[in-house]
Chain A
Amino acid sequence: MRVLRLLGSLKLTFVLLAAVTAGIGAGYVGGLDARPLLTGVLALLIVNLLGAIATHPRFRRQSALLAFHLCLLAAMVLVAVGDLLRLEGRLELANGQAFEPELVQITNRGAWFSDAALEAVAFRQGRFTVDYAPGLVRRAMRSWVDVSPGGEHPDRQIVGDTQPLVQQGFRFYTTSNKGLAALVSWVPVRGRAQIGTVHFPSWPLHDWKQVNEWTSPGGDALVLELVPALDLAPGEAFTFDSERVPAAGELRVSHAHGDASLLPGQMLRLPGGRMVFHGLTTWMGYRVVYDPTLPWLLATGIVGALALGWHFMGSLSPDARLWRAADRDPAVRA
């Protein structure tokens, strides 16, 4: 019991709260990596809170106060568990392309995240539109995805700026990262032809450098530059519609043996095979997030705040016991 009292000491609470504040300040102002410090201090705060709940009789008398502190405890545990289960990543899908787990570029993976979870996700990219105000200010974005790609009839869903696609707990958010792609097929000297897309930098942000490098399946290192037949009038409002992108772009190809310029339908012979340029298409960039604890964290936050409000509601009278601690002080009594 004595150990519990020590662990649940209010003095320790103040020291730990000060350490959390200092850790955040050091990370923000000093640019230090405060994550290990914060993780340790938050773990100690959990122990401190458990000790306080177990030993302080006030928590048994004041159920709303207990509920608030239990919510704080739950929030800290949920954040820690969420960090272990989390997946964050990026994804680019060309028009008509189906989602595949291998396409996700993972940027943050929790230790307990299972790759198998992504296997159950299925959707296919469709058309997307982006509204622009004068001055190329991005406004609403809408992306249509078919969430039943193997079905007889498409089941389309609109994904937008604040409306992610949610499947199996994964949330797919549209991003401002989207653009043009060259639809090309590769016909090797021997073997089967393959068709795919080469994505160019985000458009219209990088409309002045639509260049990308690509190594063909035959091993030819290529630099591709797209010259799209798109009129960009930054001073006017317009809507970028992926289905209205003219296919008639020009693809300039630089390789070890020279340069070439291809129009849709034209072909380039290379040592490893033939590359056929079919025309322009588009790609959409998504941010992928998986954290199954988030709905619980939100509920915990709301319940905690309401419990705190309820606790203070009980002390609205100036004579309420809650505020009497300072009454003994002569400076206040005066």
Chain B
Amino acid sequence: MSIANVLLVDDETPFVVTMTKRLLKRDLHTVSAFSGEEALLTLEIDGSIEVVILDVKMPGMDGIEALREIKKRHPLVEVIMLTGHATVDTAIEGMKLGAFDYLTKPCDMDLLVSKVREAAGRKRQIEDRIFGVRLKGIAGKRE
């Protein structure tokens, strides 16, 4: 079983291709998207995605807008922002909007993987908690 299901979003194709291979090699089940719109579509289709690695600067729907939409439609999905220096402010703004963390390009692979693990862990924790609450609710009704 993979450590986590990841969606990698960036408009730079070679970056996405290589990064996907590297994440897969580290037991992260990774799918990719090349724009904000595509990312949303993928999330719609694939409900198993736990963590989104999102580039901030993209033509069309940029990272911040995509983040807003993701958090609206899939509040439990964790998002890690990926950014160049010029948009650190934007990344911080992303944090305020509910992103899990942000990393600057080029980033260290081990660091990225550990962030993904943390993000996935948090997601599962929250899910478990919600599941527990629901279970208690059902159990309470039966008694």
A binds B: no
Q: Interface residues, chain A, CB within 8 Å of chain B? A: none
Q: Interface residues, chain B, CB within 8 Å of chain A? A: none
